[in-house]
Amino acid sequence: MRDHSMSNHHQDRDAGQMLLATGVVLLMSLLSMAIFGVKVAGLTMPHDTASDGVLVTSTEVVSAVPELTEARTQQWINGGMEPLESGEIAFQSVHDDILYHGELRGIEIKIIDMQVNETSATTLQFDAELGISDGSAMLTIPISFEVTHS
């Protein structure tokens, strides 16, 4: 008798585990389908044409980059660094700051193809391309400016 009741106990336990595993697989499938459905539904949503985050941000960044770069370049030069190296470090630090600022606002801001050249003993030329996007719009703007140092 004992062997027969143990056998039923094992069969019941095995059947319960199989039922539980089947339920977990079905639940994961339903969850996966739901996530896919939400993603597909989001693709058909119309874009907000009134959103002007990229335009506003591009205007702010284009006006701020030369000022910030000039101030930082002068600080590095005053600290004893060579002008060209000061300009390169200043330009990179401005890029890093606006990249972080953009992340806080939910907008990607990057300065790419950054070049700094000495055009005279007291002048540095900065050239790059500014890229700004927010998921629904993207804008690239060439930026070019000079910094005169002492």
pLDDT digits (tens, 9 = 90+) for 83-138: 999 999 999 999 998 888 777 677 888 899 999 999 999 999 999 999 888 877 78
- The reply to whether 100 and 136 lie within a common domain is yes
Identify the domain containing residue 125 by its residue range.
Answer: 53-148
Q: Give start and end residues of each alpha helix (H) in 106-142.
A: none
Q: What is the pTM of this model?
A: 0.63
Whether 118 and 104 have beta carbons less than 8 Å apart is answered as no
- The reply to whether 15 and 85 lie within a common domain is no
As for how many domains the chain has, the answer is: 2
User: Would the pLDDT of 34 be above 70?
Assistant: no
Average pLDDT over residues 38-42: 49
- The reply to whether 143 and 85 lie within a common domain is yes
- The reply to whether 80 and 116 lie within a common domain is yes
Whether 106 and 134 have beta carbons less than 8 Å apart is answered as yes
What Cα–Cα distance (Å) separates residue 29 from each residue in 4, 16, 21, 22, 23? 37, 20, 12, 11, 10
- The reply to whether 35 and 78 lie within a common domain is no
Which of 77, 57, 98, 97 lies closest to 147, judged by CA?
Answer: 77
Q: What is the DSSP track for 72-95?
A: HHHHHHHTT--HHHHHHHHHHHHH
- The reply to whether 83 and 32 lie within a common domain is no
Question: And the tokens for 114?
Answer: 């950054």
- The reply to whether 121 and 71 lie within a common domain is yes
- The reply to whether 35 and 58 lie within a common domain is no
- The reply to whether 41 and 58 lie within a common domain is no
